[in-house]
């Protein structure tokens, strides 16, 4: 009698143990075999994932790890965008539509700040009394920063004058004469405030849309905090709201932000776009109002560069068919929460190397998150905004931002984990520094150790550079070279030329450390 061949090998004890009972029906056998096949597919997939992860880690050992460090609003994220433009230009095009939300928020938040500041001064510019100052109580009521307190500078023997009205006479000697009275000017502003109130009321909604529920950064002029991948979530959430489905931000096969869905926008963004088009002339009137211009000249109203950029270009931003330009994206302001990794393949001298660029949150409360990235860093670009000599930390109005940059740079230079890391210093926002000096803003009013030096661009720039170099010399036991560049990272042509130089110097260090030269 011929025996039916068994599905299980008698030489395999596991197969023998798994032998089904003789009572197994045909349907049960088919179900069991299907389940076993599914289990094998899962097992094979896990094995493949493990192989890919091992290969990725093997390759990553030869990658370049570059950290962008510096205080908040120093220009790190703008520099990251320049790297993206240079090495992954298509990715910026894929994100372009998502930046519309950021730019709308920048415009609305700037208008809110202007109107709050005007309200704190009763919508009137006291032309004849530069000694008048806003009280902290009124500032808090208006939701704006009050007077910063004097602080001790890192500069030897210096003090910082924190008075917002402490500027050179030339900066405030503006002819504010106009054909209407103070009362009529105040009435005009009050009317504009009423007209623009529907637009201003979208500020919190736009902030929440971008942050995904993360708290807005304080009550100052800042932006919202966003985590890595916010661009994709912005589009996904819009799709979800339009389709009535909730999206999963953790889903691996994330919806691509591509040219296939350029028109995907949610109701909020469409409403803001309509209101901007409707109120464009009112926004222009507020921005060009003599009281606003006078407040800016007298330093009672302080606006960041991104605020002025978008308000000056409001006609283009308010256009019904508006799509953010690359220049718009470079100027758009949004704060990074945590650490965002950006990966680029960089080719030089015929060799392609993967670069991992880490853009970190620069606010004081986030700097602890930098340390885990120090261990195997190949290079650091430290970004210091030299135009910030008249500004103070939003987290601590007693601290001058130049002082904070110097203290932070001291910590980086003296850190034992970073003693052999390739170090590059970007003295950034030189264009804004020149603009402030050309308007007559005196450095010595904020940094008294500047003394009687000439208040011209070259003198001031070299003065700041000398102090950063001094910090490096005092904390450089290994005789590391410091590469210094004067930058304005919103200038694409100049910045990409500098990035090319930085790339070459980092690559030489990479080859030396890899014993390839």
Tens-place pLDDT, residues 61-96: 678 999 999 998 899 999 999 999 999 999 888 889
- Predicted local confidence at residue 78, as pLDDT: 94
The pLDDT-based confidence of 155 (bands split at 50, 70, 90) is: very low
- Predicted local confidence at residue 393, as pLDDT: 87
- Predicted local confidence at residue 223, as pLDDT: 55
* Per-residue pLDDT reduced to its tens digit, 105-121: 999 999 999 999 999 99
The pLDDT-based confidence of 50 (bands split at 50, 70, 90) is: confident
- Residue 66 known to bind ligand: no
* Per-residue pLDDT reduced to its tens digit, 460-493: 999 999 999 999 999 988 888 899 999 999 999 9
Kindly tell me if the per-residue pLDDT of 307 is higher than 80: yes
The pLDDT-based confidence of 348 (bands split at 50, 70, 90) is: confident
Kindly tell me if the per-residue pLDDT of 357 is higher than 90: yes
Of 331, 350, 365, which residue is a domain's last?
331
Are residue 325 and residue 345 in the same domain, yes or no? no
Are residue 142 and residue 253 in the same domain, yes or no? yes
- Say which range, 119-128, 373-382, 391-400, 447-456, has the weakest mean pLDDT: 119-128
- Residue 330 known to bind ligand: yes
- Residue 335 known to bind ligand: yes
Are residue 176 and residue 298 in the same domain, yes or no? yes
- Residues 455-480, buried b or exposed e (16+ Cβ, 10 A)? beeeebbebbbebbeebbeebeeeee
Cβ–Cβ < 8 Å for 72, 361: yes
CATH code assigned at 397 = 3.40.50.300
Are residue 224 and residue 268 in the same domain, yes or no? yes
Are residue 101 and residue 82 in the same domain, yes or no? no
- Say which range, 163-167, 199-203, 324-328, 394-398, has the weakest mean pLDDT: 163-167
Cβ–Cβ < 8 Å for 394, 220: yes
Are residue 344 and residue 273 in the same domain, yes or no? no
46, part of any domain: no
- Predicted local confidence at residue 156, as pLDDT: 43
- Say which range, 99-103, 139-143, 383-387, has the weakest mean pLDDT: 139-143
The burial class, CB within 10 Å (0-12 / 13-18 / 19+), for 382 is: buried
Domain of residue 294 covers 97-331
Say how far residue 437 (Cα) sits from the centre of its chain. 26
Tokens 């009572």 correspond to: 23
Query: How would you classify the pairing of strands 422-428 and 225-226?
Result: unpaired
- Residue 334 known to bind ligand: yes
**Residues belonging to the chain:** 517
Of 331, 355, 381, which residue is a domain's last?
331
130, part of any domain: yes
37, part of any domain: no
Nearest to 410 by CA among 129, 71, 34: 71
- Predicted local confidence at residue 82, as pLDDT: 95
Are residue 77 and residue 131 in the same domain, yes or no? no
- Residue 331 known to bind ligand: yes
Kindly tell me if the per-residue pLDDT of 34 is higher than 60: yes
28, part of any domain: no
- Residue 431 known to bind ligand: yes
The pLDDT-based confidence of 374 (bands split at 50, 70, 90) is: confident
- Predicted local confidence at residue 420, as pLDDT: 86
Whole-number average pLDDT of the chain: 79
Q: Which residue has the higher pLDDT, 360 or 105?
A: 105
Q: Which residue has the higher pLDDT, 385 or 162?
A: 385
Are residue 188 and residue 149 in the same domain, yes or no? yes
- Predicted local confidence at residue 128, as pLDDT: 53
The pLDDT-based confidence of 365 (bands split at 50, 70, 90) is: confident
310, part of any domain: yes
pLDDT (mean) for 150-156:
43
Helix extents (H) in 415-456 = 430-438
pLDDT (mean) for 335-348:
83
- Say which range, 182-186, 213-217, 264-268, has the weakest mean pLDDT: 213-217
Q: Please count the structural domains in the chain.
A: 2
Are residue 431 and residue 499 in the same domain, yes or no? yes
The pLDDT-based confidence of 104 (bands split at 50, 70, 90) is: very high
30, part of any domain: no
Are residue 184 and residue 290 in the same domain, yes or no? yes
- Predicted local confidence at residue 33, as pLDDT: 87
- Residue 418 known to bind ligand: no
Cα dihedral 105→110→115→118 (10° resolution): 160
Kindly tell me if the per-residue pLDDT of 230 is higher than 50: yes
200, part of any domain: yes
Of 294, 312, 331, which residue is a domain's last?
331
State how far the Cα of 376 lies from the Cα of 279, in Å rounded to an integer: 52
Are residue 327 and residue 345 in the same domain, yes or no? no
- Residue 430 known to bind ligand: yes
- pLDDT over 90 for what percent of the chain? 44
Are residue 78 and residue 195 in the same domain, yes or no? no
23, part of any domain: no
């Amino acid at each position: 009698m011929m025996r039916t061949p068994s599905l299980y090998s008698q030489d395999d004890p596991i197969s023998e143990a798994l032998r089904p009972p003789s009572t197994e029906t045909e349907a049960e056998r088919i179900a069991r075999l299907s389940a076993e096949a599914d289990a094998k597919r899962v097992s094979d997939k896990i094995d493949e994932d493990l192989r890919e992860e091992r290969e990725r880690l093997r390759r990553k050992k030869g990658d370049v790890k570059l950290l962008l460090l510096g205080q908040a609003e120093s220009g790190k994220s703008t520099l990251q965008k320049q790297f993206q433009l240079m090495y992954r230009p298509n990715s910026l095009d894929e994100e372009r539509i998502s930046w519309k939300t950021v730019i709308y928020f920048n415009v609305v938040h700037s208008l809110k700040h202007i109107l709050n500041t005007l309200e704190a001064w009763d919508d009137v510019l006291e032309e004849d009394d530069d000694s008048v100052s806003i009280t902290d109580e009124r500032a808090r009521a208006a939701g704006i920063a009050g007077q910063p307190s004097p602080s001790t500078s890192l500069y030897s023997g210096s003090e910082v004058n924190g008075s917002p009205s402490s500027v050179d006479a030339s900066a405030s000697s503006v002819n504010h004469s106009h054909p209407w009275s103070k009362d009529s000017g105040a009435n005009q502003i009050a009317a504009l405030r009423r007209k623009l109130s529907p637009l201003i009321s979208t500020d919190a909604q736009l902030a929440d849309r971008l942050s995904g529920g993360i708290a807005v950064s304080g009550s100052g002029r800042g932006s919202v905090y966003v985590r890595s991948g916010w661009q994709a979530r912005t589009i996904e959430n819009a799709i979800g709201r339009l389709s009535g489905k909730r999206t999963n931000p953790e889903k691996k096969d994330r919806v691509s932000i591509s040219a296939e869905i350029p028109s995907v926008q949610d109701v909020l963004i469409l409403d803001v776009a309509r209101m901007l088009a409707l109120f464009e002339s009112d926004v222009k009137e507020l921005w060009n109002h003599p009281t606003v211009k006078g407040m800016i000249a007298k330093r009672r109203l302080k606006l960041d560069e991104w605020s002025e950029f978008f308000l000056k270009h409001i006609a283009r931003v308010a256009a019904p068919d508006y799509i953010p330009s690359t220049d718009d994206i470079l100027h758009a302001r949004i704060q990074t929460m945590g650490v965002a990794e950006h990966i680029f393949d960089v080719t030089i001298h015929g060799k392609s190397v993967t670069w991992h660029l880490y853009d970190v949150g620069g606010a004081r409360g986030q700097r602890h998150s930098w340390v885990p990235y120090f261990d195997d860093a190949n290079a650091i670009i430290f970004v210091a905004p030299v135009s910030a000599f008249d500004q103070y930390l939003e987290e601590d109005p007693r601290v001058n931002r130049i002082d904070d940059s110097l203290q932070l740079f001291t910590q980086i230079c003296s850190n034992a984990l970073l003693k052999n890391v390739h170090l590059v210093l970007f003295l950034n926002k030189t264009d804004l520094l020149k603009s402030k000096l050309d308007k007559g803003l005196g450095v010595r009013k904020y940094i008294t150790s500047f003394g009687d030096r000439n208040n011209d661009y070259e003198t001031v720039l070299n003065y700041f550079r000398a102090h950063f170099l001094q910090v490096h010399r005092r904390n450089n036991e290994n005789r590391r070279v410091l590469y210094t560049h004067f930058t304005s990272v919103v200038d694409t042509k100049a910045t990409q030329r500098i990035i090319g130089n930085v790339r070459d110097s980092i690559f030489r260090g990479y080859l030396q450390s890899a014993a390839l030269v």
